[in-house]
Each structure stands twice: as C-alpha cells, then as structure tokens.
C-alpha cells in the first residue's frame, strides 16, 4: 500500500482555537482545537480512550454543542455503564437532544466497511453535530485498501467534516494499528492532531501518560504529561504540580495541638495550612502523639480525617478513645484504612485524595507513611508527599504525617522540601524509657533545634520543653 501521496490536507484549518475538549491536561497542553479539526487518540485497552471520548462529549453538550458519539467497540448499554462509573449520565444528556449515540457493528469485509462509513456520513449529515467521536475507529477502516481509504475516508468522510467545520475525534486501538502499519501511517498523515495514551513506570507505580505525536498548525505548550482517571474528577484529571509552591500565600497564625508543651516549642502550635512530618523509629511514640492531637482537635469541634497505612480502623479508634476523644465528638472524626501494597496505579492514589474531598477536613493525619515508600519506592512517596503538601496549602488543611525511620535525621533530608515542619522523636541511648522530641525544621528558623521530653503515660501525652 502506498500512502505518501494521499495527504490532501497539508494546511491546518483556517479558524483556530474555538473548541476546547474539557479534558484536563489536554486543554492546557494543546489548547482549543480549530473547527474542521480531525484528531486521533491512540492507546491500548483500558488506558482511557473511551473515558477521553465520554469526557469530551459531556463537556461539549454542557456548552450547548451537538455531539454524535459512534461506538464500534461496545454496545450503547456498556458505554452508558462506563459513563455512570465516572458520574456521567448519558441518558440525561440524550434527553436534551444534543447527544446522539449510534452503534455500528464492526465490519468483517470491504463491503461492510463501506456500508458502515456511508451510515456514519449519513448520521453526520442528518444530525449536523459540532463534535463527532468514533470509538473503535480502526475497525471501520481496517478492511479497506488504499484506494478505498482515499475515496471513502479522505474524499468522503473527512472532506465532509472539514467543510462543515465539525471537530472529529477517532479513538484507535494501538494493538490493532501495530498489526496494520499502513493504516497507522494513513491515520497519522490525515489527522491534524494525534495523541497517544499509555502507561509508564515511576518507581513501582504505574502512571497513565499522554503524549502529543502531532499537532499541525497548533502550538503545543506541553508535549507530554501524566494523568489519572477518577470518579471524583468525573474522568481524566491531570496530575501535574507546579515546580514551586512559593506562589501560594502562606497562611498566618497557628493551631493549638492541645498539648501545652508541644505548642510552646512550636511557637504557639502547628502553622496553618502546613504539613508537619513526625519521624522516628518504631515505638518512639509517633502514633500516640498523632492520636492525642487528633483527639484534642476533634474535641474542639474540628473535622478530622485519618488515613492510616498501617493500623486498622478499629485500632486507631481505640487509640483515639485512649487519648481522650469524648464520645459526643466521634462524628468529627473520619478514619480510612489504606493498604499500600494494594496500590499499583496513580489512579488508586488519586482515590485517596477523594477521601479528602469528601471529608473536607480541617485536620488531616496520615499514619504510617513509611509503608508507602516501602511498597511504591521513595520517588513515588516523595511525589505523593508533595501533592499532600500542595493540597494542605491550597485548601488550608492542617496536615500531620507520621513515618517510621531508624535514622530520622537522614530521612528528614529527603523529605525536607515537602514538609513545612519536621519533628523527630527518639529514645535516648542512656535511658531507653526517655523519649526526646526535636524541632528539626520549621517555617521560623529560630525555632529549629528546640527540644522537649515526650511523655506517654496512662492515656496522657505530654511534652516537657527542655
């Protein structure tokens, strides 16, 4: 098959930047698409192609645009069920008259391919959509030879799309295209924008990745980015963070921990909108300290969310009771137990942040954070810590994280850029029963180096300043 002479559309569409897809990451990287733009999205099974299509369709309808969604890879019921998992109701959108879903069976020979393309063109002519999405587009073309591709697709369907000023998105299975390199080359040549969706590894974590392969006449601001798929986000959400958090205004003031001695060495309490990291070896008292602070804040009527990577919910509930949580204040505390070894994709970590959005806490406690590093690697653990710090600052959440560390000061060096305050808790070598807390890092440098004895006895936690 010779395809080099087939490209009829070397110039980009004239009208630029009028159609945003409403897919975070893509819109910020590529911007609005021009009318008459033809785009292909290529990826393997389960990577997010259909989610991309559903999200773009819902966004267009919400802007009063007409959308024709053609599905070849699955039936209408399955498509709507998948949309439901994202909190998207396609039945409701159909009732507006702006969304039309059309099922086309996958052709098994040239004749059926030609018939399917004619049906697609008829639907476009009769419904007059602003956006056309073809889910499983490769199946419509794979039986066609070079002459049929030019006649039926290029001079027929694509010319119709461009003349109408309609935006068309084809969702293509990567494995199918790899088996038909001629078709893959043809798709790349005739598309204005080509986007690849796939996976990459970061430490022990699988991360969804998007990469712009082609953008004719469009300035690409970022050619590659990571993303997640989450119900709380309604589909695809970008995972990028600003390189610096310095632009976020610092919250003034502090919040009392309810532990007088601790407030004293911290200069009044924990800084507002901050992330405080407590490091120490096993048995040093980190969890007792974080439990006591959680109980004290809940007793003051503060909404508390505990995400535990080590303790079961009932075990942390027992600790809260032990350290003074009053029964009438139990409703102020939400506890979620998370198994780190069950986390293998960034999507699942994004679901953890869903707990934060749902609980809308004023105080967030993460218990046993070292387990995240053990199962996912330090690179991932640091990235998640940075995201937690970003959330704390943006939503004004007081955040406290405890992590096991044999050598707290060495571990602190790795986490220093992601914590506003770092406390270390250790047992003294000469007196194993004596625990010492030290302020290793603080927003206010003059407080660094302050220390006190951490005493835990009979359900009471005290810090006695040195």
With cut-offs at 50, 70 and 90, classify the pLDDT of residue 431.
low
Q: What is the pLDDT of residue 149?
A: 65
**CA distances in angstroms from 354 to 23, 48, 230, 336, 349, listed in the order given:** 19, 19, 8, 11, 9
Instruction: Identify which of 117-121, 338-342, 370-374, 419-423 has the greatest average pLDDT.
Output: 419-423
Mean pLDDT for the stretch of residues 222-250: 76
Q: Which long-range contacts does 103-110 make (Cβ < 8 Å, 24+ apart)?
A: 103/70, 103/71, 103/72, 103/75, 103/76, 104/70, 104/71, 104/72, 104/140, 105/72, 106/72, 106/73, 106/136, 106/139, 106/140, 107/139, 107/140, 107/143, 108/143, 109/143, 110/143, 110/144, 110/145, 110/148
Q: What is the pLDDT of residue 115?
A: 86
| Alpha carbons 161 and 129: distance in angstroms, whole number | 10
Average pLDDT, the chain: 86
**CA distances in angstroms from 251 to 271, 397, 398, listed in the order given:** 8, 10, 10
Helices of type H across 191-285: 260-265
Q: Is residue 261 over pLDDT 90?
A: yes
Chain mean position to CA 177: 28
CA dihedral 187, 188, 189, 192 (to 10 degrees): 100
Q: What is the pLDDT of residue 325?
A: 95
Q: What is the pLDDT of residue 414?
A: 87
pLDDT tens column, 31-51: 899 999 999 999 999 899 999
Q: What percentage of residues in the chain have a pLDDT greater than 70?
A: 91
Show me where the domains of the chain are located.
26-238, 254-465
* Residue for token pair 């996912």: 376
Host H or E run for residue 333? strand 333-337
With cut-offs at 50, 70 and 90, classify the pLDDT of residue 212.
very high
**By three-state DSSP, how is residue 169 classified?**
strand
pLDDT tens column, 283-324: 899 999 999 999 999 999 999 999 999 999 999 999 999 999
pLDDT tens column, 139-185: 887 776 666 665 566 667 888 888 889 999 999 999 888 887 878 88
Q: Does domain 26-238 have CATH number 3.40.50.300?
A: yes
| Alpha carbons 366 and 389: distance in angstroms, whole number | 12
Poorest-confidence range of 168-172, 380-384, 399-403? 380-384
Q: What secondary structure letter does DSSP report for 326?
A: -
CATH number of the domain located at residue range(s) 254-465 in this protein: 3.40.50.300
Mean pLDDT for the stretch of residues 220-237: 85
Mean pLDDT for the stretch of residues 434-446: 93
């Amino acid at each position: 098959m010779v395809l080099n002479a087939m490209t009829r559309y070397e110039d980009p569409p004239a009208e630029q930047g009028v159609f945003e897809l409403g897919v975070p990451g893509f819109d910020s990287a590529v911007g609005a698409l021009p009318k008459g733009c033809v785009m292909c999205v290529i990826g393997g099974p389960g990577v997010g192609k259909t989610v991309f299509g559903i999200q773009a369709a819902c966004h267009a309808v919400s802007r009063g645009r007409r959308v024709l969604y053609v599905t070849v890879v699955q039936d209408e019921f399955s498509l709507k069920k998948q949309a439901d998992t994202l909190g998207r109701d396609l039945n409701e959108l159909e009732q507006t008259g702006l969304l039309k879903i059309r099922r086309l069976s996958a052709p098994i020979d040239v004749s059926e391919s030609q018939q399917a393309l004619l049906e697609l063109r008829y639907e476009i002519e009769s419904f007059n959509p602003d956006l056309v999405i073809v889910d499983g587009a490769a199946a419509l073309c794979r039986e066609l030879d070079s002459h049929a591709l030019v006649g039926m697709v290029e001079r027929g369907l694509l010319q119709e799309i461009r003349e109408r000023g309609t935006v068309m998105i084809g969702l293509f299975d990567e494995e199918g295209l790899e088996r038909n390199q001629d078709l893959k080359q043809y798709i790349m040549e005739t598309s204005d924008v080509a986007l690849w969706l796939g996976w990459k590894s970061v430490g022990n974590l699988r991360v969804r990745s998007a990469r712009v392969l082609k953008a004719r006449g469009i300035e690409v601001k970022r050619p590659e980015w990571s993303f997640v798929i989450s119900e709380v986000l309604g589909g695809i959400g970008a995972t990028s963070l600003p390189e610096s958090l310095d632009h976020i205004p610092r919250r003034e003031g502090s919040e009392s921990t309810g532990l007088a001695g601790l407030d004293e060495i911290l200069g009044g309490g924990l800084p507002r909108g901050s992330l405080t990291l407590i490091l120490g070896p096993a048995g040093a008292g980190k969890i007792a300290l974080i439990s006591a602070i959680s109980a004290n804040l809940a007793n003051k009527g503060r909404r508390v969310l505990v995400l535990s990577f080590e303790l079961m919910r009932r075990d942390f509930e027992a600790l809260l009771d032990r350290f003074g949580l009053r029964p009438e204040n139990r409703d102020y505390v939400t506890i979620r137990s998370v198994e780190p070894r069950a986390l293998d994709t960034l999507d699942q970590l994004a679901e953890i942040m869903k707990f934060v959005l749902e609980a809308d806490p004023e105080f967030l406690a993460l218990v046993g954070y070292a387990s995240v590093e053990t199962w996912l690697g330090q690179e991932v653990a640091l990235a998640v810590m940075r995201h937690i710090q970003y959330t704390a600052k943006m939503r004004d959440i007081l955040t406290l994280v405890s992590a096991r560390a044999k050598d707290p000061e060495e571990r602190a060096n790795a986490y220093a850029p992601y914590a506003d305050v770092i406390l270390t808790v250790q047992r003294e070598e000469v007196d194993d029963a004596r625990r010492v807390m030290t302020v290793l890092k603080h927003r206010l440098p003059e407080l660094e180096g302050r220390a006190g004895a951490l005493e835990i006895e009979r359900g009471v936690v005290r810090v006695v300043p040195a």
